[in-house]
Structure 1
Amino acid sequence: MIREKIEYKNEPVFLIDGSSFLYRAFYAYPDLKRSDGLPTNAIYIVIRMLLKIVKEEKPEYMGFFLDGKGPTFRHELYIPYKAQRPGMPEGLSAQIEPLREAVRILGIPEYTAQGLEADDLIAGYTEIFKSKHPVIIVASDKDLKQLLDDHVYLWDPGAKNAEILDCDGFRRETGIGPEQWPDYQALVGDSSDNIPGIPGVGPKTALNWLKKFPSLEELQAGLDELKPKEQEKLREHMDDVFLYRRLTKLKPDCLSGAGLETLKTRPADPVELQKFLDEYEFKSLKNEIPGSQELKHEQSREKGGVQKAWAEKEELPDCRGQITGLYLGQDSYLVALEDQEWEVSKKTPPIEKLEFCKKYVFSLKDLYRENQDWMQEPVSGFFDISLGVYLLNPEERDYSFDRIFRTYAPEIAVHRENRAVAALKIGQMVEKRLDAAGLLGLMQELEMPLVPVLCRMESAGIGIDLAAFDNFLRQVKKSLDDLTASIYSLAGKEFNIRSTQQTAQVLFDELGLKARRKTPKGAYSTSNVVLESMRRDHDIVDLILQYRTLEKLRSTYLEPLPRKVDVGGRLHTTFNQLATATGRLSSSNPNLQNIPIKGEFGPRMRACFKPSKGKLLVAADYSQIELRILAHMSMDPNLLQAFGGNEDIHRRTAGLLFDKDIQEVSQDERRKAKTINFGLLYGMGPQKLSRELSISMEEAKEFISVYFSKLDRVRDFYQQIEEKAQEQGYVTTMAGRRRLLPDINSRNTNMAQQARRTAVNTVIQGSAADVIKKAMLAVDSDSELRSLGSVMVLQVHDELLLEVDAPVAQKAGERLARVMAGVESLEVPLLVEWGTGENWAEAHG
């Protein structure tokens, strides 16, 4: 309890910044809706927080504050104030009045004032009451830190540690006092409020200044004491920074004569609250109403309650043919039938008693990893909830039990500890939603069957040549030492080449090179993209880029990978089905999909991966699969003819772009056409194309214009994708995979353009992901490959890697190519290129 962490004589006053929590809840939990489609995410999260505060803190005085309508005095001072923000989303504005009703039912005073922000109202009440009462500001807004005082505290119950911040803690954290916080914000700016701050001044610089000069006035007076470059940054913007401080400073004088009784709470109305929670379908929140737990336990006893029996006590009944929920705990399995739940020791997995029944689980792969005996069951006997939730919203990124439970808890009225019951209820709900969205077939026919395939690949691993790794590492270290000496010589000093800050200081401050770009925090950028554009400026730039390439090889691959091998010298990665929005698999711990392929070091790196003794590797990959899918879906005659005739697609495109016969196309023209072919697939605009080809923006725009005029079916296809996305809010791949695009109709032009590029990229790249997954299933189940003893060990983008006995490697490669080419029927051939070898580089060819 917060009360136990502060000293007080009089009752604390709780002031809640409702606006900040509303917005945070709305964007943090986008999926929560009532059955009729009304968004309820913001209401649910804020009410849950308020119930927790009422229940645990029992406040006598509390206020809930919302931003008032209309412009504030800050808009009059500075027209761009918050001008970049789009209007309140309809889904959020629809929740304001229901939330205010809930706050009233809970007995909490609520305040909004025309032309004032919630922060200003909180500042006003803080000023009135802090001399006699401890004030606890419940908020996530950093602006409110300026109100901290001896008896004023900040508490964010939604933060990870939910700790309370006091004046001393703030000083330890920043080195300045709360009264200096508006000065600090004025210096660094606030992008969320469209306050620019001083260009090039970041948090560290601002804090250092304010530790030496306690206010902007004193900073201005001591300007000559700063370094010349700092003086230059500050002098030009000194007038502006005083204006910015007026914008960031809250108005403690906005109230007059407000009495303590205005914040007096009253007991919640339990009948009205029950009705409200029923109306908005917040069943789980009923548990938080005072007295609800006692009622729940009584009802549980009447129903027979949750059964938890170890094997030596009441045994799990035979569940064959039933619909069950299955949860993998730390030491046991939880099994649910309807509302009853049993706990079974991991020493005696309940596999036999769960045969021939539908089992809803949160992660099928975790179940397989725990005990491979579960793989004896057909995959159709399971439903993987995390996979289902992923297909419904592939942008979420977090598909853990906790995240899924929080999302669906309001609809299932199940206690968090009854995890198998939760699996059963949530799984059935997710399955229905997949069916309604047309995604159930994708789940059952592609994603679920892939789980055991990935598990087998992870278990098999891939061999690595430790001697080759060691030899390569020694050569790289020698090259790094040589580069380091050369870089130090050109710089005229030693410095940490790995430090972007020190590198920037050498390049821009000491060597005087012209900076190209700044980081979001105002520092000069030394990213690889920036350095690539500076190669001609100084010899040191090329050496630093070489150093970074070799340093990445050393630190990412050559040193860490050998440490991860098992006793048999094999490396085991983890394949992730839930990591990308396009449906592509990713690889982690270690990431083997980022192993260099081309360039100076790609073949050398791949040569370090080898099969077991007496075996060979077989590598096969789809040739230009995404462009072939584009040809199939757009039906562009130029693409269809090129692929149908097995022509070089990039030469064909170059011929169209430069108005030449294919035979006359130069290698440089082919290179440019290749960049455009793939770049436009990935949403590349003229700016990036100009950088990639080292041409002007005008030339880049002309290339794109000519491309779409010659391949007009491609242009029309892209336009159709964008129009459909704007109409329905999502796009689908060839296999029906769906990706939501909430910003496709945004009033923010940049966000809308990005969503349109994402739409095109998802349709093509997502369809390619579907094809490679189909290929993995076909290869895994192919009887001929199985009879040859082949083992699939790796998938990297459009490539599959098998390990097979050397005498039958050629036969396996031929079969692998046929299987992969036959998994999808397109208007153009699916060309598969393959090879065999004693290491990955040889096999990849």
Structure 2
Amino acid sequence: MSLKERLGLTTEPLYLMDGSAFIFRAFYAMQSMQRSDGFPTNALFIVTRILLKFLKDEHPTYFGFILDGKGKNFRHDIYPEYKANRSATPEPLVQQLEPVTRAVRTLGLHLAISENCEADDCIASLAARYKKERPVIIIGADKDLKQCLDDNVFLWDPGVKQEKLTTVADFREETGLDPAQWPDFQAVIGDSSDNIPGVPGIGPKTAAKIFTEHGSLEAIRDHFPSLAPAVQKKFAEHLDTMFTYRRLTTLATSECANLTLDHFRVSPVDAEKTALFLREFELRTLMKDISALGPLLAPSGHMASTTNDPSDGPTTLTTGSPKPVSAQMSLFDSPGSAAPAAAPLKQTEPAGTQRSLKITAVDDISSLPDCAGRRVALVAVGDVLHRAECTTLPPLLGMAAPSPDRSVSFADSAGLPASENQQARNGSTTQTGDAEPCALHLHLAGDTCEYRYTGSLTALAGYMTKAEYIVTPDVKALLTTRTGWRAVAESRWFDLGLAAYLLDPEDRDYSWRRLSARADELDLPAENPARLALAIAGDFERRLQGGDLTDLMRNLEIPLIRVLADMEEVGIHINRAAFAEFLNEVQRELDRLTRTIHEAAGGPFNIRSAQQLGDLLFNRLGLKPKGKTKGGQISTSQAVLEKLEGEHPVIDLILEYRKLEKLRSTYLEPMPKMADEQGRIHTTFNQLATATGRLSSSNPNLQNIPVRGKFGPRMRACFTARAGCKLVSADYSQIELRVLAHCSQDPTLLEAFRNDEDIHSRTASVLFDVPAQDVTPDQRRNAKTINFGLVYGMGPQKLAQELKISLNEAKAFIERYFARLQRLKAFYEQVEADARENGSVTTLIGRRRHVPDIQSGNNQLQSQARRQAINTVIQGSAADIIKIAMLRTAQDAQLKSLKARLVLQVHDELLLEVPAENAQAAAERLADIMSGVRPGGKPLDVPLKVDYGIGSGWHEAH
């Protein structure tokens, strides 16, 4: 149902779109989308897609796409600092402005550029002018536009996951204000994105309360004595400036007078011209949306052919490269620039191939065409094919479209029982009638058919060694079948899931199920999964190259897959007797604690029940609640109990109980059951799990094994070397702080690390103005907390909680920290500035993370984005360093000669299992490799210090 129908409108509305805002949002919503020649197309793609969908759904008669004009406007005359905090518009966004304007006009829509005002002023003026004769629907999300709302003016934002439609009634219900009060309200609370200060100390809640009693700034000024004393104090020095701020927040209503209704009449869409435009910028996925426009198409228009496979490469047109941005148009005063001409890619499919490829069933490897020097896609498909030779593939390889006669869904191996996960890992064959052996779809670039292979995986692996390039959703899933796939050279693999992760590390889902959903976008049939995989790979290759991510994938992440697969296969040995003994001790202590807790509580209750625990603490004992769950219930979480420490003896007992219970249920009881017959546990290393690039571990999670404290050494003592061997542990010393010193070039940190000083004592010495030898334990602890806390984006509230000090003390402590280590402050500010300008940040070797919320008007989201930016630069670079070290360790000839095997990686630590007589030599070599890592080909400006140890158990080695 169209928006017009939903609103019950009987007159054709005038649609006014805040074009500048949508271009900006589109640019930051999806990074690294580029044409094959590197020309950015992310904003162009999203804006064009939004417009095509809008035309299809709404069939508008009147529409205007309004853009900000170039240069300063009247607000800068009123307040020179207006928007002074805005950084320059990123060049990749500037490059797309001219193509966006072409897209708007190509679709038969009117584009208007405001002069001496902003797009919002033009929209407000047009809405005020035409709302008496017809409905006006403003398409945008800028909060300033809310003042335009009226009985016949609506605000609609289709650009979010869930559209938002706001009527004047909705606005009044949400805010308790009238639209006419909105500029006054905004003037008081300020607007950080526009650099409008507002009245300090007055937030939205306080302002809303004030405006329910005093409806305008004039009323606040005239009734100033009636305000609460605390409010008076905040307003006292701003009774004049708040009126200036209101002039900034009030939209003009008399601009764009030259625009008449006829200007906004929508013209029919020239389908052929639009198709040529989409081909020029390689936006083929939008081709199908043109034909969906139906009656909006020009009578003489006809669709250009869309039957070409998207993996063909671009069609070179004579239209030339995009023109420079018009001097009359700009987004926040950035200069225009020209784009390079397109260069066609190597073709991977013959032009004009049929939409669906014939699927040929093959069960003998000799029936497949020669793949030597060719690109091949390989995708697992679920099907029941009872063949004794076929080895079951781990479910992580993913799922393409199942055969028509059977719907099959593969579970992620992370959700499998340990026995099934282990069976998949060891490559067990399935020969019974109830089993589900593998079926694979193959597509060779250039072939006119796709092959459905049901033969031996071992034979297929040998066949594939001759291929130039092998595209598959999950390389590691093939390697762990132990059917010969490790013979395939690393340079020949292209992992679709890994590529998707590098392009968008926030997505979290890189399964074939998710990737294959792009079939419609690429205009390919899902029944040809391998051909689809090849097309997706072509798109990913272009985007990786455009985002400078190709080297990261080729030289680090792809080779690392084999290392992780080998580590998973080797596993780590455990001492079952040590596990059993420790479990018995913990269970006895849990039983004792249970009795003691019941006595302290005045009677028995279920300690594991949140409801019964809450009843005890907050009803029977009368303690004050410290938080609620998302559902609104009183919380008994770990964080809440820690805040209640000392308020009743039962709290400390329950906290101790929970520590032991977690130890029992997470480690001591389940882990021995996961070990194989040789007493080895095989975890799964997840390469695509974290946005910073860190590896994670699951089934079981061995990266969460306690290290320190009362139980850490005892827990690690349960992990041992096999008979005749030793464990060698080597870990980086304070690697994140060393990366911080290198990136920030702070002299205090650089000197401390170069002189091998205690970094926390040195920092405390600077913070508290005392010689390093006189630093107290508390001062060192405080310095350590803030040193590591700032790396993880800790704010004053968290610091106050950690140091058990007041919020004001924490703020003062942070201010003093940055005042004394000024290069650190400059570094943090530079990271934020880069994030604002580029919409992303990178690690030392170029790993990229997008932080679109850095531009958000929501302070909470903006703060989170700032933390993410810092985390990625520092922690992400540290993660890259340990990955490089892993790769070099696995490939090192000397360690291989010493028969050392890499068995575990835990954050900044690597663990080897090595014959006892070779342990010392292996430890020294491992430390040498790790300390010699040069991220990006350059050494850090501080030494990478590595500590190592040797022992029969993990506790002795670390």
TM over 0.5: yes
Aligned residue for 2:362?
Answer: 310
Counterpart of 1:814 in 2: which secondary structure? helix
Which of the residues 658, 680, 683 maps onto 2:768? Answer: 658
Aligned pair in 2 of structure 1 residues 755, 470: CA closer, same or farther (>3 Å)? same
CA distance in 2, matches of 1:495, 1:510: 12
Which residue among 666, 672, 677 is the counterpart of 1:567? 677
The question of 1:37 aligning with 2:42 is answered yes
Q: Does 1:804 align with 2:856?
A: no
Match of 2:380 in 1: 328
The aligned runs of 1:128-167 (5 Å cut-off) are none
Offset, 1:304: 10
1:500 and 2:631 aligned:
no
Q: List per-residue Cα deviations over 1:223-245 (Å, max 9, x = no partner).
A: xxxxxxxxxxxxxxxxx9xxxxx
Unaligned stretches of 5+ residues in structure 1: 1-13, 55-61, 70-89, 103-111, 118-138, 145-189, 196-239, 241-269
Quote the Cα distance in structure 1 between the aligned partners of 2:7 and 2:367. 50
Counterparts in 2 of 1:44 and 1:114: CA distance versus 1, 3 Å: closer
The 5-angstrom pairing of residues 705-784 of structure 1 reads: 705-784=815-894
2:487 corresponds in structure 1 to 376
Deviation at 1:476, TM superposition (A): 1.2
Partner SS state of residue 739, structure 1 = strand
Query: 1:98: how far off?
Result: 8.4
* Gap change, CA 1:733 and 1:194, over 3 Å in 2: farther
In the alignment, which residue of structure 1 is the partner of 2:169?
Answer: none
Partner deviation per Cα, 1:416-453 (whole Å, 9 max, x = no partner): 12122122221122112111111111111111110100
CA distance 1:700–1:806, change in 2 (3 Å):
same
Counterpart Cα distance in 1 of 2:51 and 2:921: 63
Query: What is the identity, as a one-letter code, of the residue corresponding to 1:843?
Result: A
* Aligned counterparts, 1:171-186, within 5 A: none
| Cα distance change of structure 1 residues 28 and 540 upon mapping to structure 2, 3 Å threshold | farther
Q: What amino acid is aligned across from residue 835 of structure 1 in structure 2?
A: G
* 2:904 and 2:911 in contact (8 A); partners too: yes
The Cα RMSD (Å) is 4.6
8 Å contact kept, 1:309–1:315: no
Distance 1:140 1:16, change over 3 A: farther
Q: Would you say 1:491 and 2:562 are equivalent positions?
A: no
1:828 aligns with 2:828: no
Q: Is the 8 A contact 2:797 2:810 kept in 1?
A: yes
Q: Which residue number corresponds to residue 338 of structure 1?
A: 446
Superimposed CA distance per residue, residues 279-338 of structure 1 (whole angstroms, 9 cap, x where no aligned partner): 66775687898999xx989x9997994352414598221121122323233422413223
Question: 1:502 offset after TM fit, Å?
Answer: 2.3
Query: Could you tell me which residue of structure 1 aligns to residue 644 of structure 2?
Result: 534
Number of positions where the alignment pairs a residue of Structure 1 with one of Structure 2: 660
- Correspondent of 1:581 among 691, 707, 732: 691
Between stretches 509-518 and 496-505, larger displacement belongs to 496-505
SS at match of 2:470: strand
Give distance in 2, aligned partners of 1:811 and 1:386.
38
Taking a change above 3 Å as real, the CA distance of residues 305 and 396 of structure 1, as seen in their structure-2 partners, is closer
Q: Secondary structure at the match of 1:593?
A: helix
Separation in structure 2 between the aligned mates of residue 322 and residue 803 of structure 1, nearest angstrom: 40
Q: What are the residue-to-residue correspondences of 1:426-465 with 2, within 5 Å?
A: 426-465=536-575
- Does 2:422 match 1:422? no
Pairing 1:352-391 to 2, within 5 Å after superposition? 352=463, 354-391=465-502
1:178 corresponding residue in structure 2: none
Structure 1 counterpart of 2:730, from 612, 617, 620:
620
- The 8 Å contact of residues 465 and 489 in structure 2, kept in 1 or not, is answered as no
Instruction: Work out whether residues 307 and 340 of structure 1, in 8 Å CA contact, stay in contact via their aligned partners in 2.
Output: no
Alpha-carbon distance between aligned partners in 1 of 2:368 and 2:856, rounded to the nearest angstrom: 53
Higher helix share: 1
Q: Counterparts of 2:640 and 2:863 in 1: how far apart (Å)?
A: 24
One-letter identity of the residue aligned with 1:536: G
Q: Distance in 1 between matches of 2:925 and 2:695?
A: 24
Tell me the CA shift for residue 375 of structure 1. Answer: 1.3
Letter in 1 for 2:499: G
Seen in structure 2, the aligned counterparts of structure 1 residues 781 and 282 have a Cα distance that, compared at 3 Å, is closer
Amino-acid identity (%): 46
Q: Which moved further from structure 2: 486-495 or 677-686? A: 486-495
Corresponding residue of 2:523: 413
Deviations 1:614-669 (A, max 9, x none): 11111110000011111111111111111111111111111112211111112222
**1:50–1:421 Cα change, 3 Å:** farther
Residue 333 of structure 1 contacts residue 346 of structure 1 at CA under 8 Å; is this kept in 2? no
TM-score by length of 1: 0.69
Distance in structure 1 (CA, Å) of the matches to 2:612 and 2:164: 32
Question: In 2, distance between residues paired with 1:755 and 1:631?
Answer: 22
From the superposition, tell whether residues 672 and 590 of structure 1 become closer, same or farther in structure 2 (CA, over 3 Å).
same
Measured in 1, the distance between the counterparts of 2:879 and 2:886 equals 11
Match of 1:349, SS state, is helix
Secondary structure at 1:609 match in 2: coil
Residues 817-826 or 620-629, more deviating: 817-826
Opposite residue 882 of structure 2, the aligned amino acid is I
Q: CA deviation at 1:454?
A: 0.4
TM-score using structure 2 length: 0.61
Residue 513 of structure 1: how far off its partner (Å):
0.6
User: 1:812–1:143: structure 2 CA closer, same or farther, 3 Å change rule?
Assistant: closer
Corresponding residue of 2:667: 557
Structure 1 residues 275 and 362, CA, compared in 2 at 3 Å: closer, same or farther? Answer: farther
Look up the SS of the partner of 1:396 in the other structure. coil
Alignment partners' CA distance in 2, 1:378 and 1:38: 38
Give the corresponding residue for 1:403. Answer: 514
Residues 615 and 803 in structure 1, CA contact (< 8 A), matched pair in contact too: yes
TM-aligned CA distance change 1:463 to 1:715, over 3 Å: same
Structure 2 unmatched runs, 5+: 9-16, 36-40, 66-92, 109-133, 140-159, 166-172, 177-211, 213-267, 295-302, 309-350, 383-438
Work out whether residues 388 and 443 of structure 1, in 8 Å CA contact, stay in contact via their aligned partners in 2: yes
Following the alignment from structure 1 to structure 2, what is the Cα–Cα distance between the partners of residues 735 and 817? 21
The verdict on how the C-alpha distance between 1:313 and 1:48 changes in structure 2, with shifts beyond 3 A counting, is farther
* Contact 2:362–2:454 under 8 Å retained in 1: yes
Farther-moved stretch of structure 1 (276-285 vs 543-552): 276-285
> Which amino acid in 2 is paired with 1:324?
V
**2:954 alignment counterpart:** 840
CA contact (8 A) 2:357 2:528 kept: no
Question: Structure 1 residues 350 and 557 mapped into 2: Cα distance closer, same or farther (>3 Å)?
Answer: closer
Query: Using a 3 Å threshold, how does the CA distance of structure 1 residues 48 and 814 change in structure 2: closer, same or farther?
Result: same
Give the Cα separation in 2 of the matches to 1:725 and 1:459.
40
- Match for 1:788 among 898, 901, 913? 898
Q: 1:408 to 1:641 in 2, by over 3 A?
A: farther
Q: Judging changes above 3 Å, is the alpha-carbon distance between structure 1 residues 675 and 316 closer, same or farther for their aligned structure 2 residues?
A: same
1:562–1:26 CA distance, 2 compared to 1 (3 A): farther
Distance 1:353 1:511 in 2: 69
Q: Matched residues in 1 for 2:889 and 2:911: separation?
A: 11
**2 CA distance for matches of 1:140 and 1:757?**
24
SS in 1 for 2:741: helix
Cα 1:493–1:143, aligned 2, differ >3 Å: closer, same or farther?
farther
> 1:792 Cα deviation (Å)?
0.3
* Cα deviation digits, residues 143-166 of structure 1 (max 9, x gap): 99xxxxxxxxxxxxxxxxxxxxxx
* CA distance in 2: counterparts of 1:630 and 1:823, whole angstroms: 16
